[in-house]
Structure 1
Amino acid sequence: MTTDQILNTIPFGIGVAASARVGNLIGARDAAGAKRASHASAFLSVVVGSVVMTVMLATRNVFGFLFSDDVDVVALVSSVMPFVASFQIADGVAGSCGGVLRGQGRQHLGAIFNLVAYYVLALPLGVTLAFHPRTHMGLQGLWLGQVVALFIVGLGEYAVVWLGTDWDKEIQYSIERNREEAKRRQLHDGYEEL
């Protein structure tokens, strides 16, 4: 999990950059540029995730030795490594598309996807796969639940960005939000002067 969190900094950074880039392009009223940047960030995340996944799979039988000399621990790490490795692609897509949604001002959609995928799906699925007498997958089951959830988040957010975004309307929404914010600030500043 520690390694996964360290590796998560790469797609997280891509998501932060996508958020800023898409937000700036929407603010500049460049719909084509915002669309291009959003898809480029998702593509970059898949490429980076694929490289990380390949390295993790190639080193799966020795990776555990970074943390322990215990052969049983190394074998357990090796058994979950395919799930952890595939997690990298899903995490990348979810991170970059979440960044795009934040850049659009639609972060509530990412929150909904994460809430449903993790608490409604991943947690019960992972616990069931890990501990149910019929499956009893143990740690692999917990990771499989996480991977399924993250793929749902990533693909769901990508579908919203790819299929559910009218970039010209997003620009209009941002203009309206900015006008409302300017009115609110003007009203607030007027009260402060009193």
Structure 2
Amino acid sequence: MEGEAKVALLEKHHENNRGSFIKEFGSESKTLWKLSGPAIFTYICQYSLGALTQTFAGQVGELELAAVSVENSVIAGLAFGVMLGMGSALETLCGQAYGAGQLRMLGIYMQRSWVILLITSIVLLPIYIFAPPILHFFGEAPDISRAAGKFALWMIPQLFAYALNFPIQKFLQSQRKLMAMAWISAAVLVLHVIFSWLLILKLEWGLVGAAVTLNVSWWLIIIIQLIYIFVTKSDGAWTGFSMLAFQDLFGFVKLSLASAIMLCLEFWYLMIIVVIAGHLDNPVVPVDALSICMNINGWDAMISIGFNAAISVRVSNELGAGNPVAAKFSVVVVSITTMLIAVVCMVIVLATRDIFPYLFTNSEAVAKETTRLSILLAFTVLLNGLQPVLSGVAVGAGWQAIVAYVNIGCYYIVGLPLGIILGFVFDFGSMGIWGGMTGGIVLQTLILIVITSTRNWDKEAAEAESRVKTWGGSVANH
């Protein structure tokens, strides 16, 4: 009887633990969706600004479409990657400072990031000014290089918009003010559609109209977000402009560069697939097919990037507040959630592999090649479920430098050469290029799983506290 009582007691204990886990999982999941939902919506709206401009330019002519597409994906894409990466240093610093209750530091951090990113914009200016010879050097047709180069000159204001927007985004994101960003992005997107139609098609301004609407839309997002920050004071996080923004810049640049290298290495990796495929024999069909797959992958990535932002906020906030157990549990919850979503997305890709190519092309050859590549697309979509989330954990905890080294090794020392060998030496074509480079992503994901699961989270919380004190010392004394 005593034995039975012990068994019953143990069963009750396990039942209570199970119930407690489900309750905690539900609560954490709710918090994550509150963060990731508006983040996903914001990223889709902002991603759509360039995509819709391309669509309207396509109504004008083939050369105009090519000019906007090349400028968007190559010139602005390069700048976007660098700026997003440099601005991501704020995810670590603002998130941990917010978690530690050091609100005033957030405004100082944002201003420091503005200084660094505006200087970075000036450094990147030659890419915009000398776009035609740069594009021609990489094998772009002369007429497309000239048209894209002219469009790039008109898009210089967007470069400086990136410099202000990303720090603002991370500043608001770390305080969980994501709904404000979502509403602003949605309102600007609606205006963008109306004015794109008016200027590009109705008034027939062509590429000039495309440049005007795209620049104005980005600057409108910044102006409205700044008005929101200046008026609400962000609960004390904004206390006005300060000379403290020019202090500790060297250390800030180091963390910003680590963030930029880490994110750019990821951001450019899949873009390289299309460039390499351009060197295959008869490259038009494989390049078109890969472009369609990358387009689908890009939309899917917006979901992952939303969760990346959410987990970065959660980890940095909890570590900053000295709650390592909560940070670790948040990683578990977001990993399970994103993997479930990734499995659903993978099933959708496989189920529609004979259908979705025709949404993008009328060519039977391109559609057939896209269907063939859909197996790799489905696998990449599955990897999207975990890999960006683990990168978000790395940013939230401040491991950018470690992950930058991991990315160099996995992507460019293993994945890229493997893709070239499979694609050209073994003659597997586009399938081989993408397959080899996917191997690099698998290796990177496995290493990130090991890093995340073996970290001492108590030590991470202590380091976050030390980081807040180090970076906030000059602020706290004023």
Write out the 4+ residue segments of structure 1 that deviate beyond 6 Å after TM superposition. Answer: none
The offset of 1:146, in angstroms, is 2.4
The two structures, once aligned, show a CA RMSD in angstroms of: 1.5
Matched with 1:178 is: 468
Q: Secondary structure at the match of 2:386?
A: helix
The offset of 1:110, in angstroms, is 2.1
Structure 1: which 5+ residue stretches go unaligned? 190-194
Give, in whole Å, the separation in 1 of the partners of 2:338 and 2:445: 11
Letter of the 1:75 partner, please give it.
K
Matched with 1:166 is: 456
| Compared CA separation, residues 152 and 18, structure 1 to 2 (3 A) | same
Which segment drifts farther, 146-155 or 14-23? 146-155
Which segment drifts farther, 112-121 or 10-19? 112-121
How many correspondences in the alignment? 185
Matched with 1:81 is: 374
The offset of 1:102, in angstroms, is 0.9
Q: Does structure 1 conserve the Cα–Cα contact (< 8 Å) formed by 2:322 and 2:465?
A: no
Match of 1:151 among 418, 442, 447: 442
Deviations 1:13-52 (A, max 9, x none): 1111100011111112111110010121222221111111
Deviations 1:130-165 (A, max 9, x none): 111xx21111011112221111122211211112x1
Match of 1:136 among 414, 427, 432: 427
Matched with 1:41 is: 334
Give, in whole Å, the separation in 2 of the partners of 1:161 and 1:150: 16
Matched with 1:62 is: 355
TM-score (norm 1): 0.90
Letter of the 1:155 partner, please give it.
L
Structure 2: which 5+ residue stretches go unaligned? 1-293
Q: Does structure 2 conserve the Cα–Cα contact (< 8 Å) formed by 1:15 and 1:41?
A: no
Give, in whole Å, the separation in 2 of the partners of 1:72 and 1:31: 53
Letter of the 2:306 partner, please give it.
G
The offset of 1:109, in angstroms, is 2.1
Match of 2:306 among 13, 25, 31: 13
Matched with 1:99 is: 392
Give, in whole Å, the separation in 1 of the partners of 2:404 and 2:334: 19
Q: Secondary structure at the match of 1:8?
A: helix
Q: Does structure 1 conserve the Cα–Cα contact (< 8 Å) formed by 2:320 and 2:468?
A: no
Matched with 2:403 is: 110
Give, in whole Å, the separation in 1 of the partners of 2:347 and 2:440: 21
Matched with 1:127 is: 420
The offset of 1:186, in angstroms, is 6.1
Point out the structure with max Rg over C-alpha. Answer: 2
Q: Does structure 1 conserve the Cα–Cα contact (< 8 Å) formed by 2:322 and 2:461?
A: yes
Give, in whole Å, the separation in 1 of the partners of 2:448 and 2:359: 34
